[in-house]
Structure 1
Amino acid sequence: MEYKWMIREKADESVVQALSKDINVNPTLANMLANRGVHNFQLAKEFFRPDLDKLHDPFLMKDMDRAVERLQQAITNREKILVYGDYDVDGTTSVALMYGFLNRFYSRLEFYIPDRYKEGYGISERGVRYAAENGFTLIVSLDCGIKAIQKVALGKELGVDFIICDHHTPGDELPAAAAILDPKRKDCAYPYKELSGCGVGFKLIQAFSMVNNLEMAEVMSYLDLLAISIAADIVPITGENRILAYYGLERLNNNPRPGIKALMIKSNIEKEMGIGDIVFKIGPRINASGRLEHAKASVELLLSKNLDDAMQRAELVDTVNAARKNFDENITKEAISMIEEMEMVREMKSTVLFKEDWHKGVIGIVASRCIEKYYRPTIILTESNNKATGSARSVYDFDIYEAIAECSDLLEQFGGHKYAAGLTMSVDKVMAFQAKFEEVVSSRITDIHMKPVLEIDDEILLDQINYKFYNILKQMAPFGPGNPEPIFTVSQVYAEEVRILKDKHLRFNVVQDGQVTKPVCIAFGMADKSVYPDEIIYKMLNRKMRFDLAFEIRENTFRNNSSLQLYVKDIKFD
């Protein structure tokens, strides 16, 4: 896939020069920081030294006082409490956090995760009736509930109150819950709007602990779960999320709970874990049980009290994850074949595919895989409970949630974010939805959306790449949305000592005229990549053709020897 390179505009020169002098970094680093909103010494101090004391007062969140009061009332009156969460990583970590915290001092509670296939996403009628029939009078919902108007009303009829902890965009009407915690409420003045669902749950236990004079160290012990939710749910790692992710990663790397330690062992994570390890190794394993079986297994794993028990549970989750990969690969092949076989579909600005027997648990992954090949907004639908239900994924800067909302007259339910959403409709509405969604996307999408964008921080010289430079870059972590891992370019370079690794990767030294440094480059999956018809990168590098290189800087350690390497993102030949 060909990338469009977008080099960030230079920040204000006076700001860059002042910042460079004040914090003693070179102008390249000062420019990167300024482009991330770090404009002066004080902001740089806060950026490089995240401080838990800078977390916002949880009572700034609308309804927090009501939520704490209702939770306190339930505990005082010995009511049964049901902790209810969605089946994805954000939902299961939220449930593990809330249940784990309350269970330390209160026993009349259970947790509940809806069955993806029998109940679907969010608050279900079955879940509400389960609560009522089993004597629960309070449901604390996490990562869901903001649009559950009818289900919350049903709960009220059956004597079940709700405290809703959500982070999704509300509709025009809010449920009639005892309390609704959602920083995206229009009437909520909470200073930071991008918390994960688990983050909203964290603010509730923080507020409850403040009122009841509980040890704040106990609250902070759940930051490992919160860091996993932040990474896996792809929320911005800015502001408060940056502080929470920073200390959550610190806990993950120094004192992980048994369930997470077991997942790290299963994932072969032996070095310091970062956001990428969560996204690509830990998150998929937690997600797997909810995709193919029941997410209860993931919550039980996260709540494990010892490593032996956790390892047994992690083995089960790992087995399910392996099966998930198999489903993912097979359905992706089917989906791509469907697109290839229909010229009209190939020429569209969007992809909407439906097949009644596709596995509901992996259609979101399949949507992402299709975008890797056909870069456009994509929705994959399957049949579940006699309805067409689907997952949507988007492309750079295109709001797929808004596009789906334009088709709401054809839908029974939908929800999500700018880049990912879920939706449900009658099976007989699928064709009409395909047509209308294509019409909406075609009217909104522009050229900038149609090609994957590689956002580049700056062009540098090879001699700038040294450990002093790298060590400052490393302190800018954790990286993620809002604070992406730095990508640089070098121009008019050529390659030496080009080798193919494991039949699919490239390893070479990059050389720039007038520069002494000749770093090793690793280009994953590029050994047989074509640039022009009948021209593969490997041959062009061997001919010492000039090219521009986009890359990340990483540290490689082999046999106790460390060196800096360039991880190639893209190559553009003259």
Structure 2
Amino acid sequence: MPHVAKAWHLKPHDALAIRALSQSMRISPVIAQLLVNRGVTEEADARRFLDAGMNLLHSPKLMPGMEAAVDRILDAIKDRKKICVYGDYDVDGTTGTAILVQLFQKLQVPIQFYVPNRLGEGYGLNMDALRNLHAEGVQVIISVDCGIAALEETKLASELGIEMIITDHHEMRDELPGGGAVLVHPRLPGSLYPWGSLSGSAVAFKLAWALSVRISNHDRVRPELRELLMDSLCLATLGLVADVVPLQDENRVLVKHGLKRISEQPTVGIRALLESSKLGVEQQLRAEDIAFRIAPRINAAGRLGCARSVVELLLTQCPDQARELADFLDQRNTQRQQIERRMLEQAQELAERDGEGRPALVLSHPDWHAGIIGIVAGKLVDRYGRPVILIAQHDGKPFGTGSARSIPGFEMHTALDACRDDLIAHGGHAMAAGLKIAADRIDSFRERFCEYAAQHFPQGIPPVPKLSIDAEMPLSSLTIGLLNDLDRLEPYGADNPRPLFLTGNLQLDGEPRILKDVHLKFFVRSGNSRFAAIGFYMADRLDELLSGGGKVCLVYRPKRNVWQGQTNIEMELVDFQPGPDADLA
């Protein structure tokens, strides 16, 4: 079952709009074209997008439930109630937890935090944890990045006499948590908050900001709390990037200034993370450095069941402890990578054996790690262009845990609901979901799910995935000046992806190489221009590359490659077509 070929689509070139924006803004035509591609055509909008000033942040007072939450927290502090911050185990949850805990510590308010074990407890609030915290004397719980759908758990907390302050950004049910809980969420019914797509860590940042304003008794925050909020901005940036929320509006502002702060003045814990990730301190960081170097290390701890150490790292003021904890996360990330590679190989073997002709893939294995199946499922979606569900069968237990990833146009949570008779539990949203299933129902579920998918797709199979390309460009245009121009659009991320370029009729130069058994590297030439291209996890496409008679067309992202003080430009492959001419949809 080979990888699915993508349909290449070159975005329209609106020459008049590009010229007008380029002249009015005095920016290069390339930047103008990329802005137009992103729907930014007016000068005022372009200036806001490129400048992303802190003045564009919305007041936390506008967020539903914020003022009530501040009141409740200040009353709890005054009454010396025992407070616990309850966060999620991923990057967004752990960074948001650290934001609130460090504020309480700064205020010298006794505080504890709780992060559930992903493997033993699962996501979000759970009954046993609430009972245990109650037994420890906790009277107030502030949730971070979870709780908005925890109806039964919130009811139990109320019965136990625990006051709940729920801060979240996830999708809500038709019914909201009751029991006197205070809800802080940018998209609550009736909300007038201008931007609804914050991450959990950003909501926690807003709560810390609102508390700091109230404590300062002035619109301007006290200097020592202002510095703390800037440290919190670093943490919120990690969560925003890792949670893949749209980097538009105030998310873009937060990340842009958070990256600057991390580069210039990282916290003790983040500095240790940078060093363990081989990222130079005081270099200009980009969002992709967070996404591909920092976030996987943090997430690895949660996936392997030790997320509490992440919060400890983010909070510590001791460099030695920070280095020790960062090294621990680095080891866990290496372990995660090894497990992931093995699982990916096994999943591809199963897909190639059993997936031919199926509109979706439902694969299971007794040796798979429940904390990593989501990553592997995402890679299979990209490779095969169809919905994927991977199920980790628990050794000696009569059930398995599944992770699902989808494609545009196929709502995973709806599909799972249609197959709910085969499931113990399920939940999620359109593009990603989780499930629990009895081991003896996996085969039945596979058939029912694939039948549902076949009925959903017009031809019984998923449509060919589309690859949207920003511009066609000659190889000679790949210059450091171009990359400097592209830097103006940073930070890149969801809804502002790093631009993709197409260059055709390139000559292969020399023999392609396989790196680490999985990556493909080769050189291409056009005229006097010669560049290296690297395709991650494309080693199995070597024969395809060589089938073009020495000619190839590439879709890629140009990137700097700094080695021993020398900067070169490298082409990071997204896709290729053998031969001299590109086939465009």
Check whether the contact 1:510–1:521 (CA below 8 A) recurs between aligned residues.
Answer: no
Amino acid at match of 1:16: I
Amino acid at match of 1:507: F
CA distance, structure 2, for counterparts of residue 394 and residue 272 of structure 1: 34
> Which residue of the partner structure matches residue 202 of structure 1?
205
- Give the alignment of 1:87-236 within 5 angstroms: 87-176=89-178, 177-213=180-216, 214-215=221-222, 216-236=226-246
Shift in alpha-carbon separation, 1:2–1:348, aligned structure 2, 3 A: closer
1:22 aligns with 2:24: yes
Check whether the contact 2:508–2:522 (CA below 8 A) recurs between aligned residues.
Answer: no
Shift in alpha-carbon separation, 1:316–1:562, aligned structure 2, 3 A: closer
CA distance, structure 2, for counterparts of residue 139 and residue 425 of structure 1: 31
Partner SS for 1:121? coil
Measured after TM superposition, the shift of residue 84 of structure 1 is 0.4
Out of 322-331 and 438-447, give the one that drifted further. 438-447
Shift in alpha-carbon separation, 1:104–1:15, aligned structure 2, 3 A: same
> Which residue of the partner structure matches residue 506 of structure 1?
521
Measured after TM superposition, the shift of residue 370 of structure 1 is 3.1
Q: Give 1:569's match in structure 2, choosing from 569, 574, 577.
A: 574
CA distance, structure 2, for counterparts of residue 539 and residue 4 of structure 1: 18
Check whether the contact 2:4–2:384 (CA below 8 A) recurs between aligned residues.
Answer: no
> Which residue of the partner structure matches residue 492 of structure 2?
479
Out of 390-399 and 49-58, give the one that drifted further. 390-399
> Which residue of the partner structure matches residue 85 of structure 1?
87
- Give the alignment of 1:111-510 within 5 angstroms: 111-176=113-178, 177-213=180-216, 214-215=221-222, 216-270=226-280, 272-342=284-354, 345-355=355-365, 358-383=368-393, 387-396=399-408, 398-408=410-420, 411=423, 413-427=425-439, 429-445=441-457, 450-496=463-509, 500=513, 502=515, 505-510=520-525
Check whether the contact 1:259–1:303 (CA below 8 A) recurs between aligned residues.
Answer: yes
CA distance, structure 1, for counterparts of residue 338 and residue 524 of structure 2: 37
CA distance, structure 2, for counterparts of residue 388 and residue 539 of structure 1: 42
Out of 477-486 and 465-474, give the one that drifted further. 465-474
Check whether the contact 1:520–1:566 (CA below 8 A) recurs between aligned residues.
Answer: yes
Measured after TM superposition, the shift of residue 112 of structure 1 is 0.3
Structure 1 unaligned residues grouped into runs of 5+? none
Measured after TM superposition, the shift of residue 17 of structure 1 is 2.6
Partner SS for 2:529? coil
Amino acid at match of 2:311: V
Measured after TM superposition, the shift of residue 495 of structure 1 is 3.9
Shift in alpha-carbon separation, 1:451–1:254, aligned structure 2, 3 A: farther
Structure 2 unaligned residues grouped into runs of 5+? 581-585
Matched residue count: 562
Shift in alpha-carbon separation, 1:72–1:327, aligned structure 2, 3 A: same
Shift in alpha-carbon separation, 1:412–1:86, aligned structure 2, 3 A: farther
Measured after TM superposition, the shift of residue 442 of structure 1 is 2.8
CA RMSD of aligned residues (A): 2.7
Measured after TM superposition, the shift of residue 407 of structure 1 is 4.0
Out of 459-468 and 258-267, give the one that drifted further. 459-468
Out of 416-425 and 94-103, give the one that drifted further. 416-425
CA distance, structure 2, for counterparts of residue 204 and residue 366 of structure 1: 35
Out of 55-64 and 402-411, give the one that drifted further. 402-411
Large movers: runs of 4+ above 6 Å: none
> Which residue of the partner structure matches residue 583 of structure 2?
none
Measured after TM superposition, the shift of residue 179 of structure 1 is 1.4
Measured after TM superposition, the shift of residue 315 of structure 1 is 1.9
Between 1 and 2, higher relative CO (CA 8 Å, sep ≥ 6) is seen in: 2
Shift in alpha-carbon separation, 1:135–1:335, aligned structure 2, 3 A: same
Amino acid at match of 1:207: A
Measured after TM superposition, the shift of residue 38 of structure 1 is 1.8
**TM-score w.r.t. length of structure 2:** 0.88
Shift in alpha-carbon separation, 1:498–1:339, aligned structure 2, 3 A: closer
CA distance, structure 1, for counterparts of residue 257 and residue 119 of structure 2: 36
What does the per-residue CA deviation read over 1:372-413, in whole Å, with 9 as the maximum and x for residues that have no partner?
443321122235686533222223454323433444565554
Measured after TM superposition, the shift of residue 480 of structure 1 is 0.9
